[in-house]
């Protein structure tokens, strides 16, 4: 029988690729939710009474929350917390994710004699 | 395909003519600043010297730097190749103008590396090609796809470099007191000279030197600015946090009338969607920039290719943690009422001036900004000219070309590219970081889907690749043509078109793949080996 040589991210073949892809999925999920989940959270917990009028490029004027909340009004290391989280912590997290993946894949490759 | 280039060119000329972003003269008195000038000139001499002493021997060297660069060294080269005038000058300018919204630039230009590492770096290295079009041509078994992707590489290099030239021009203008236009031309002449002399082997060594210069020049003045303004100055990257707080809360000497809460509040100036769209575009673009992907071919082992990304990201992070400091300190000084001119794209230099530091500090920063721009332009011209010489000339036009003639074509390509960029850069269409964002959108709309599907789904066909590239180009340049007031322009801003473009291209490619005959067993076997063999 001919070997199945099809590659599909969602149908990994072989032990190596299965483990590798499982790890990749986890890291991408963390990456996505840490970045954009937090953005959504900022909107979610924002003080509904603190609003601002914005003129969009379409000319339409909308009223939206400024995003003021306990996340922006708590000081951490002097920063408004959300600023510190985005401008400093997330970058550190990205480096951490890359580090974890490199460690993981080096080990996996060694186990599979690569 | 030529059409598309012409189309892109004429588009730029149209944008130029509108001239909404005329470059302000930073040095209206035409004063020649002696100490900054000496710094700048000695740096340039240093770069050229390093280039000369590590001259490229043959074409193999010229393109892939002999495939022998270490992990940390490679990381530094990735970082300096990466950090351009957009990171050094432009990012701080945008944060100054747009506050928290512009943090999406900081995150977009770092977070993309996670995707690049996890989804591409190792696999690309295992595939074992020289350039991005080489990969596209082989994986999609098509000369047309190879040609198109080579032209897109040239287009990306072109757009990206325009922003860099603007940075170089502005800094030369500030230092030497010659006008912006002359500065761009002088700067270009210097960049071209050293790229032509050194090739990429020299460029890799140069990049390490440049990285060190970038970090030192970027860090040093900050300690003094922080202490002058009365903030925690031992680690200004932490100390500026209080300045962000004070700007919004009228503390530390800022009057209640002058306070700007919109600086730190997340949605005070822009919508959540725009933050998301811009950040996503820059992230996907990062994973789809040919000159960044190209760096992985330089590495001898797959594992090294991956560790280089970690080191590269760390080296980049050092600068990205720092850029918002300049924006915030400049904002703070400005709100305090310190007199002085502010040009967003020169905010880093302005910050030092506003804090009342001696001129040579600002000179330091200007010199660093120029080296950031230089290292990136070097990498871009290299990527563009190798697409021309290797992928178009050697692979398609003249497969029997000798090493010598390839080398010659590469050099001619560099000159043509370098000079044509000047024409647009003389009258730049937008802010540095925005121009750069368009280059990212282009990468994210074309190469990101091509690599993603090419590496992870063996059913992707050559027809899908070709149609995908066309759709990607249409979305990128189409987004610039949409009238600003339309609803479509709201959802697809020209700096952030990838948020819509990449999913659209991926979907198109999947549909077209199912409609066209499967790739041959050979192609599939090769890909299978990339994922499963030693």
Question: ipTM of the predicted structure?
Answer: 0.92
Q: Note the pLDDT of residue B204.
A: 60
Instruction: Give the confidence band of A83 by pLDDT, cuts at 50, 70, 90.
Output: very high
Looking at residue B6, what is its pLDDT?
Answer: 55
Residue A67 lies in a domain: yes
* pLDDT at residue number B2: 52
DSSP letter at B457?
B
Averaged pLDDT of chain A: 90
Find, among A68, A84, A86, the residue nearest to B249 by Cα.
A68
Residue B14: its pLDDT value, please? 41
CA distance B417 to chain A (A): 34
| pLDDT given for residue B58 in this prediction | 47
Residue A35 falls inside a structural domain: yes
Q: How large a percentage of chain A has pLDDT more than 90?
A: 55
What is the span of the domain harbouring residue A38? 15-111
User: How many other C-beta atoms lie within 10 A of the C-beta of residue B427?
Assistant: 20
Is B364 an 8 Å CB contact of chain A?
Answer: no
> How much of chain A, in percent, has pLDDT values that exceed 70?
97
Dist. CA B375–CA B377, nearest whole Å: 6
| Interval B394-428: pLDDT, tens | 888 888 888 888 888 888 888 888 888 888 888 77
Residues of chain B with pLDDT under 50: 1, 8-9, 11-21, 56, 58-67, 201
Q: What is the total count of domains within chain A? A: 1
CB of A41 within 8 Å of a chain B CB? The answer is no
The answer to whether residue A8 sits within a structural domain is no
Contact B474, B311 (CB under 8 A): no
Yes or no, beta carbons of A31 and B111 under 8 Å apart: yes
Q: What is the pLDDT of residue B50?
A: 73
Residue A22 belongs to a domain = yes
DSSP alpha helix (H) spans, B262-346 = 272-286, 290-293, 302-320, 323-336
Within-domain flag for A7: no
B250 touches chain A (CB under 8 A): no
- For chain A, the first-to-last Cα distance in angstroms comes to 26
Q: Which of B232, B309, B531 to mutate to test the interface with A (most CBs of A within 10 A)?
A: B531
Judged by CB atoms closer than 8 Å, whether chains meet at B314 and A92 is answered as no
Q: What is the pLDDT of residue B113?
A: 93
- Burial zone of A63 (CB within 10 Å; 0-12 exposed, 13-18 middle, 19+ buried): exposed
Compute the nearest-CA separation of A13 from chain B (Å): 8
Would you say residue A9 lies in a domain? no
Which of A9, A58, A77 lies nearest to residue B241, judging by beta carbons?
Answer: A77
CA distance B320 to B344: 17
The whole-angstrom distance between A15's CA and the closest CA on chain B is 9
In a domain, A10, yes or no: no
- Asked if the structure places residue A54 within a domain, the reply is yes
Residue A1 in this model has a pLDDT that exceeds 70: no
Domains observed in chain B: 30-431 (1.20.1730.10)
Residue for token pair 């060294």: B73
Does residue A59 belong to the interface with chain B, where contact is any CB pair within 8 Å?
Answer: yes
């Amino acid at each position: 029988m001919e070997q199945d040589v099809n590659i599909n991210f969602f149908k990994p073949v072989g032990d190596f690729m299965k483990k590798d892809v499982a790890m990749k999925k986890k890291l991408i999920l963390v990456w996505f939710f840490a970045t954009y989940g937090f953005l959504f959270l900022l909107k979610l917990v924002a003080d509904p009474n603190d609003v601002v009028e914005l003129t969009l490029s379409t000319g339409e004027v909308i009223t939206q929350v400024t995003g003021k909340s306990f996340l922006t009004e708590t000081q951490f290391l002097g920063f408004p917390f959300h600023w510190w989280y985005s401008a400093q912590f997330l970058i550190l997290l990205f480096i951490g994710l890359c580090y974890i993946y490199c460690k993981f894949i080096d080990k996996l490759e060694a186990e599979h004699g690569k | 395909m030529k059409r598309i280039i012409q189309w892109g060119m004429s588009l730029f000329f149209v944008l130029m003519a509108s001239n909404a972003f005329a470059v302000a003269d930073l040095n209206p008195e035409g004063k020649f600043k002696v100490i900054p000038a000496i710094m700048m000139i000695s740096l340039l001499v240093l770069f050229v010297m390093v280039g000369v002493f590590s001259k490229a021997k043959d074409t193999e060297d010229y393109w892939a730097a002999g495939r022998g660069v270490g992990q940390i060294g490679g990381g530094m080269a990735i970082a300096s190749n990466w950090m351009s005038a957009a990171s050094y000058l432009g990012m701080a300018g945008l944060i100054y103008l747009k506050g928290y919204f512009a943090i999406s630039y900081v995150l977009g230009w770092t977070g993309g590396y996670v995707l690049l590492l996890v989804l591409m770096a190792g696999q690309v290295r295992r595939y074992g090609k020289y350039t991005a079009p080489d990969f596209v041509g082989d994986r999609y078994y098509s000369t047309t796809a190879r040609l198109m992707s080579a032209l897109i590489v040239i287009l990306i290099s072109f757009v990206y470099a325009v922003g860099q030239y603007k940075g170089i021009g502005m800094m030369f203008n500030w230092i030497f007191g010659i006008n912006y236009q002359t500065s761009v031309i002088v700067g270009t002449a210097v960049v071209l000279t050293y790229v032509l002399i050194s090739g990429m082997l020299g460029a890799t060594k140069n990049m390490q030197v440049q990285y060190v210069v970038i970090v030192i020049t970027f860090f040093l003045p900050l300690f003094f600015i922080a202490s002058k303004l009365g903030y925690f100055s031992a680690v200004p990257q932490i100390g500026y946090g209080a300045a962000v707080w004070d700007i919004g809360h009228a503390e530390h000497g800022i009057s209640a009338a002058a306070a700007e809460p919109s600086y730190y509040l997340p949605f005070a100036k822009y919508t959540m969607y725009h933050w998301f769209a811009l950040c996503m575009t820059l992230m996907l673009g990062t994973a789809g920039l040919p000159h960044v992907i190209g760096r992985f071919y330089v590495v001898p082992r797959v594992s090294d290719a991956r560790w280089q990304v970690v080191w590269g990201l760390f080296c980049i992070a050092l600068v990205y943690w720092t850029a918002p400091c300049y924006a915030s300190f400049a904002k703070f000084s400005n709100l305090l009422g310190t007199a002085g001119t502010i040009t967003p794209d020169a905010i880093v230099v302005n910050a030092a001036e506003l804090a009342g530091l001696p001129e040579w500090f600002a000179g330091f920063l200007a010199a660093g900004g120029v080296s950031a721009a230089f290292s990136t332009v070097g990498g871009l011209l290299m990527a563009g000219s190798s697409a021309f010489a290797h992928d178009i000339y050697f692979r398609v036009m003249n497969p029997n070309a000798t090493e010598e003639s390839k080398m010659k074509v590469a050099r001619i390509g560099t000159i043509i590219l370098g000079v044509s960029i000047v024409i647009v850069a003389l009258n730049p269409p937008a802010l540095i970081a925005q121009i750069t964002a368009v280059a990212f959108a282009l990468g994210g709309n074309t190469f990101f889907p091509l690599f993603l599907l090419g590496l992870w789904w063996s059913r992707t066909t050559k027809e899908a690749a070709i149609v995908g590239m066309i759709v990607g180009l249409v979305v990128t340049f189409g987004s610039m043509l949409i009238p600003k007031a339309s609803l479509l322009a709201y959802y697809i801003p020209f700096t952030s078109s990838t948020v819509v473009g990449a999913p659209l291209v991926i979907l198109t490619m999947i549909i077209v793949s199912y409609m066209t005959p499967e790739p041959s067993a050979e192609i599939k076997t090769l890909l299978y080996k990339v994922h499963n063999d030693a």
